[in-house]
Structure 1
């Protein structure tokens, strides 16, 4: 713990204050856009950690690791709820389980040695692809009438695990997109994707603790590797408290308005991360 004390403690107080605001914003946006939170948390945390003066070398992976830790309890709660209603396709999760875990492990190993630009680039590219589907997608956009065979599904699962680990998300956005493109009903796709969040968030969080352990001298106080314990403690309850407000707003808006709003949000995030890559 000596490495933690090497960083001024007043940084922890600035970080805590900023995270209170970030938690409220994340909760509202997560409820509004119907996502697990990672797609919202990572860009918010990236800005918060920058405001708090976190070293640029660990700013992006710290945002990702903290996001993954917050997703653990929310994804478990969501999965249990959907499973109780019989909406989860356990056969899909069984095929995806091992490949997703392997993808997460590779992502954690990359996180241990990768330069900050790798995380920003991956997030920007995937956010842009999702934004394109949200803004311009049509019901006719289909890859098939049903999910492909076991081996293509395993490859897809590995990719979802890898990219989710590098982005700090539960994988729900990508898993849901894949299932709907193969003709699966949206409700079942969302329910099954909640299980993907469980498969990804737990091992990925442990992976980011491992990946950041050699840099304990530059992460903020009260961090375990690339996971900010202050971030988890403050984000989680505030996210839960403010999410219903976002849900209330969402139910008052047309579906297409939500899709466009989330698509625009992802475009803004992608542009922000590209600007960071260019040093702007």
Structure 2
């Protein structure tokens, strides 16, 4: 059983991740994975499993947080459902493959890969520059391939894919509000396929703690999802009342710190 200190830590982490997701329109995975890794390490889970489990557990939380986010965006008519339908098939394939690729990486390589991804995302947030519209959305084959790339990256790092899908859609002439809303809708198929993949490829793995389902640690999933879903709407409301650009810069610094921790983890 989990002690009260661990429960409180997971609640605080889930609340912070959910608030940040609602406030800044990012997936909680970039915040959650390093913190879950720290907690799993402190709990004595085998070092070769901590990052795999942190990524899998983080990805599974998006099943719940994406539904909350999509509902709000859909009420404003901002989700481009035809775009979702075109990207979803490739995303489902890529999100299944991503965890398999992650499983082939040893823990230090996976930690370093995640660190690079977070540092890139932090830089993107710090600069705050959106790509200029350069072309229209591609055809069916191009959207399938793009969805595959988004899904694979998301499956490897346990994130919702927004830092890939939003710039892509903006580059293709989609308005930023529609791109963010549509990206939120894409989080569910990413999380669904990636979660099933993490259960499948983690099934029977030696050294997994009790109450694990494949690479997913169910107690942590339940607590983090509860806190994240509760706080995401508050973050979204706050976004309309505060200078989000300054908050993005502060959050970018936090992400750099988390990336540094993952690089440190990769070296030890």
Give the TM-score of the pair, scaled to structure 1. 0.85
Q: Structure 1 CA distance, aligned partners of 2:81 and 2:19? A: 30
Q: Structure 2 CA distance, aligned partners of 1:193 and 1:265? A: 23
Q: Structure 2 CA distance, aligned partners of 1:196 and 1:133? A: 20
Is this contact kept in 2: 1:164–1:170, CA < 8 A? yes
Q: Secondary structure at the match of 1:26?
A: helix
Alpha-carbon distance change, 115 to 258 in structure 1, aligned in 2, over 3 angstroms:
same
2:158 paired residue number: 168
1:259 paired residue number: 248
For residue 101 of structure 2, the aligned residue among 102, 110, 113 is 110
Of residues 241-250 and 108-117 in structure 1, the stretch that sits farther from structure 2 once superposed is 241-250
Per-residue deviation, residues 58-104 of structure 1 (Å, max 9, x unmatched):
10111111111111022123224433443222222222122111111
Q: Secondary structure at the match of 1:214?
A: coil
1:129 paired residue number: 120
Per-residue deviation, residues 149-174 of structure 1 (Å, max 9, x unmatched):
43333222111100100111121232
Alpha-carbon distance change, 138 to 78 in structure 1, aligned in 2, over 3 angstroms:
closer
Q: Structure 1 CA distance, aligned partners of 2:129 and 2:15? A: 33
1:6 paired residue number: none
Tell me, yes or no, if structure 1 residue 82 matches structure 2 residue 76: no
CA RMSD of the aligned region, Å? Answer: 2.3
Q: Structure 1 CA distance, aligned partners of 2:235 and 2:87? A: 31
Is this contact kept in 2: 1:176–1:189, CA < 8 A? yes
For residue 199 of structure 2, the aligned residue among 198, 201, 209 is 209
Is this contact kept in 2: 1:22–1:48, CA < 8 A? no
Q: Structure 2 CA distance, aligned partners of 1:96 and 1:27? A: 25
Tell me, yes or no, if structure 1 residue 144 matches structure 2 residue 120: no
Q: Structure 1 CA distance, aligned partners of 2:77 and 2:234? A: 27
Q: Structure 1 CA distance, aligned partners of 2:160 and 2:267? A: 27
Aligned residues: 267
Q: Structure 1 CA distance, aligned partners of 2:168 and 2:41? A: 33
Query: Cα distance, 1:38 vs. partner?
Result: 1.7
Is this contact kept in 1: 2:25–2:180, CA < 8 A? no
Q: Structure 2 CA distance, aligned partners of 1:127 and 1:177? A: 16
Per-residue deviation, residues 241-279 of structure 1 (Å, max 9, x unmatched):
344554465444323212212322222222211111112
Question: What are the equivalent positions in structure 2 for 1:28-107 lying under 5 Å apart?
Answer: 28-107=19-98
Query: Cα distance, 1:108 vs. partner?
Result: 2.5
Tell me, yes or no, if structure 1 residue 181 matches structure 2 residue 171: yes
Question: Greater CA radius of gyration, 1 or 2?
Answer: 1
Q: Secondary structure at the match of 2:204?
A: helix
Where does the alignment leave 5 or more consecutive residues of structure 2 unmatched? none
Q: Structure 2 CA distance, aligned partners of 1:244 and 1:143? A: 30
